[in-house]
Amino acid sequence: MMRRKVIFLSITGAFSLLNAVTSYGQADLLKLVDSTQNKPVKKIAPTWKDTRLINAQTTKVVDPGVMEFFILHRFGDAGEASGGAFHTLYGFDLANDIQFAFQFGVVKNLMVGISRSKQQELIDLDVKYKLLTQNGSNMPVSFSLYGDAGVTPELNSTFYNGTDPNAPHNTFTDKLSYLGEAIVDRRFGDHLSLELLGGVQHRNYVVTSINPNNGATDENNIPFAGLGGRIMFNKHSSLVFDYYYIMSQYRMNNPGYFNPISVGYEVETGGHVFEINFSNAAFLDENNIIPNTTEGWPKGGFKLGFSISRVFNI
C-alpha cells in the first residue's frame, strides 16, 4: 500500500513539473512572438529618386493622391559617322523623340499613367504595382510588376512602311503594342543602388524583313533582360545608367540593330528631378526602344537627352 502511494505521488509530481515547464515554455514562446510582432520595421532611404532611370523603369511608384508629370526629350546623333557633328551641333539641332507623361498614385503601391511620344505618335497606358519594399529588418529587395499598352494613330501609308496600305488589314489591332516586365532591386548602403529586370515586348503587326546573316525574320514577341543602377555622389545628385539585352534571332548579328545603353547625371531640386543623359536609343518609350534601337555608340550613334519630372498633390 505504501509503495502504491509513493508511485502515485511520484506520478503526480512528474505531471506537476511537466505542466510547470510547459506553461513556462508557452509563456516564453508567446513573449518572443509578441516581441517580434511589436518590433518596428526598420525603414531605409528610398532606392530611387524617380519612377524611371533613363530608358528603364524602377520599382518606385507614385504615392496615393499624387500626380507626377514628365517631359522627356532626345536629340539627334552626336557622331559625324552617324550624321551628327558640328553642322547639327552634335545632334542638338534635331529632335528624335519627345514625350510627355502623367502618372497617378491610385492606392498604396499602385500607380497608373498615360503618355504621348513623337515617334509613331505613340499613346501609352501603363500600370505599375509594387509587391515588395526593401527594409532594414526582414526584406532585402524591392519588387515591382510593370505593364504598358500602346497604340499608334499613324496614317496607314506610314505605318505599313512600304507594304500595300490597301491590302486587307485589321488596322486598329495592327497598331497595338504591349510590354510586360518584372523589376527587382536593392539599395546597397548610402551610395549604390542596382536593379535587374526582364520581360517581353509584343507588336501585333510586324513588317516582314529578313536578317541576311542567319535568315531569321522579325518577331512579334521580343524577350529582353536588363540592368540599371545609381551611384550617389551626395543626397541630391547621382550617376545613373541602364542597359537592355534584346533576345531576338532577327537582331542577332544584324548590323542594323543594337542593345540600348544609356548613362546620365541626375539632380533632385526640391519637387523636381532633372536628368541629362546620353543613349544610343532614339526613342523614349519601351515599346519603341526594345524593337527599334538601330544605332550604336562606336560610330557616334549616341544622342543627348534630358528629362524633368515634377510631383503635384491632387
In the chain, the DSSP E strands lie at: 66-77, 95-107, 110-117, 123-132, 142-151, 176-188, 192-203, 221-232, 237-246, 261-269, 272-279, 303-313
For residues 103 and 239, give the distance between their C-alpha atoms in angstroms, rounded to a whole number: 24
**For residue 84, what pLDDT is reported?**
75
- pLDDT at residue 48, as a whole number: 93
Beta bridge partners of 179: 148, 201
Alpha-carbon Rg for the chain in angstroms: 28
| pLDDT over threshold 50, residue 164 | yes
- Name the pTM for this structure: 0.83
pLDDT band at 19 (very low <50, low <70, confident <90, very high): very low
Query: Looking at beta carbons, which pairs linking 207-210 to residues 24 or more positions away fall under 8 Å?
Result: 207/160, 207/161, 207/162, 207/163, 209/250, 210/250
- The phi-psi region of residue 270 (left if phi > 0; otherwise alpha if psi is between -120 and 50; otherwise beta) is left
Confidence of residue 237 (pLDDT cuts 50, 70, 90): very high
Read off the pLDDT of residues 254-291 as tens digits, 9 standing for 90 and up: 988 999 999 999 999 877 899 999 999 999 999 999 99
How confident is the model at residue 162, as a pLDDT? 65
pLDDT bracket for residue 31 (50, 70, 90): low
Q: Is the pLDDT of residue 94 over 80?
A: yes
- The string of pLDDT tens digits covering residues 254-264 is 988 999 999 99
